[in-house]
Chain A
């Protein structure tokens, strides 16, 4: 292959590489600037990623498993509709195949979907069968349990701060029930984490203070 053609390929490749990375950044910057602020209650735990370093694993108190009227395939596109809860924090209202025009929603995919069963008393003359089933049988309710993937599972922190953040959360939640709050900006289906707060303050500051003490 001649050198000029190799250079052309290299330049096209570089444009693609810079373009993909630039697009990833731009999308999230727009979401952070123009997105609607949502606040979810969460519990942080500290693990590690070989490429991206230390992070706190987020465990939202909101349930992302909902009962739906229709069946979804695994990996199918789904929308998580966000609403305001009575406690002042955001909550997941429902899962929908399409969002309404005024909805605040996160675009994601179905992790699992399985039919819901209801237990009813078994009526049978077969005593062996009745004993085996403990006098009960399961019937389909026509509804489905749908588990949506939520793209809010990691908050990256400096390697020394992350374990401190987890300890701060454990202390705070034990002592005076201070909740961990995940601040998220949602824009056209994209959710970008803005901050993680503990007792109304960024968890970074809380962890840093503990480290300096």
Chain B
């Protein structure tokens, strides 16, 4: 519970006591209970200012070392390279002995410790004139962050680890390497995120960790693909996002709000963006077996990763779809059995695979784009329908947004005259305004959210 919510509750308790709703003893018990909750609350102010201090000190050390004092000999430089790291070791052990386990101590320490490793490795590079090899430098620094992540369970080293990994894998792919190592390396920190997420007072920290990991892994998916079969990314990305969305449905997370549920948000948002791109004709140009790319086909075994994902992810999505479908309660709307809208979103990989097969076989970009347009418009309508049936304004707006995006996207990319476009936009806008008005009235009558 956030501090402003506790403050609100305290004010309410005072009012209840004044109005005689609760007696003095009950009010006192409530005050005592929420005073304890407030005392256990994460000290974000101290964490943020402590982390900023650690960041500035760490960056200052890096800048000082970059000044490159030629008067200092190699032994002195060696001592200096180890000094920040030794300081972290002393601080950590002292903290352990004195029982400092507050986040306000461990978060800045994690950040400073991470920077100390980078500063130390950079100073060794400077002392021995190591060649320009940003790839190796980033990998060494990133790997040495793993124990820092586990020892402090802090956000900064975990975020640094994933950002370091994505930087390294990007450089590795650009220089002709294979980026598949990203996945086992990313998996090394996954148990930590899982464990932090189960901590009772770590909701905010674990959410940030999960967001960083999920965003980096989404980007890494595109980077690590070998891309020898053009267009395979469409099936892989739609399957990955569908699996995320359905996975969070299966888990049935009680977290409310888009920010607190990163996998669901990323799955749904990512799926919407990819499907939206696929309603246009350009992604369907020159894809399929006829355009097998031998020019970049340098790591034959790495292509198996693409194919494995193209099979495994849709299978996983199908499995999760069945699992999620079996768990939801059956609902009816005016006697008609209703499917939850997310089941339709969940079949996206299979619709994309059909469109991909059509594009590869016929070498046509028109038909797959049309199929995806109809599918996405159908998704918009289904989401809108679900919102109307359940009187949920957010779902209604989401459905409307999808439909509007489809109409605007297709119309602007079509060759229709501006007069026709204008008339269609006005008509669509009118229909949506009227629908919104009717929904608001009905919700007011039924006492739902308007």
Contact = CB atoms under 8 A, between A and B. Distances in A.
B89 A154 contact: no
A28 B118 CA distance: 19
B418 interface: no
B132 A18 contact: no
Interface residues of B, number: 49
Interface in A136-182: 149-159, 161
A75 B175 contact: yes
Contacts of B146: 13
Contact of B126 (A6, A156, A161): A156
A103 B28 CA distance: 86
Contacts of A28: 128
Contacts of A3: 96, 101
A17 B131 contact: no
B290 interface: no
Nearest to B146: A13
Given A51-B118, A52-B126, A157-B68, A9 B151 contact: yes
Contacts of A12: 147
B147 A14 contact: yes
B119 to A, nearest CB: 8
Contacts of B24: none
Contacts, number: 124
A73 interface: yes
A74 interface: yes
A156 B85 contact: no
Nearest to A54: B68
Q: From DSSP, what is the main secondary structure of chain A's interface residues? A: mixed
B32 interface: no
B436 to A, nearest CB: 50
A107 B68 CA distance: 28
Contacts of A13: 144, 146-148, 150-151
A1 B106 CA distance: 14
Contact of B132 (A16, A153, A192): A153
Interface stretch (A19-27, A35-43, A126-134): A19-27
B53 interface: no
Interface of B: 62, 65-70, 74, 78, 81-82, 85, 88-89, 92-93, 96, 101, 117-118, 120-133, 137, 140, 144, 146-148, 150-153, 175-177, 195, 298
5 contacts: A6-B151, A9-B147, A17-B144, A18-B85, A158-B68
Interface of A: 1, 3, 6-7, 9-10, 12-14, 16-18, 20-21, 24-25, 28-29, 49-55, 73-75, 149-159, 161, 192-193, 204
Given A9-B150, A49-B66, A193-B129, 12 more contacts: A7-B93, A9-B151, A14-B85, A17-B144, A21-B82, A49-B132, A52-B65, A53-B67, A53-B68, A75-B176, A158-B70, A193-B128
